């Protein structure tokens, strides 16, 4: 997924947790980062004009 997003020029960051298992101690922090990223990607561009 990372490579596909990068190829499509979508801002993306890969966070790899060495030796990580599910769930890992900081999972709540990463889930919040994922949610923020999704919100940023789905937020409509304010410069776009919507059609009626």
Contact yes or no for 45/27 (Cβ under 8 A): no
Give residue 6's pLDDT.
94
Give residue 10's pLDDT.
85
Over the chain, what HEC string results?
CHHHHHHCCCCCCCCCCCCCCCCCCCHHHHHHHHHHHHHHHHCCCCCCCCCC
**Confidence (pTM):** 0.57
Distance of alpha carbon 16 from alpha carbon 1, whole angstroms: 13
Instruction: Copy the structure tokens of residue 33.
Output: 């980062």
pLDDT values of the chain reduced to their tens digit, one per residue, 52 residues: 999 999 999 888 888 878 878 888 888 998 998 899 888 888 867 654 445 4
Distance of alpha carbon 1 from alpha carbon 32, whole angstroms: 19
Give residue 40's pLDDT.
86
Give residue 32's pLDDT.
94
């Amino acid at each position: 997924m990372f490579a596909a997003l990068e190829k499509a020029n979508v801002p993306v960051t890969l966070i790899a947790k060495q030796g990580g298992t599910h769930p890992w101690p900081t999972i709540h922090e990463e889930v919040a980062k994922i949610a923020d990223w999704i919100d940023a990607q789905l937020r409509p561009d304010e410069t776009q004009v919507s059609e009626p």
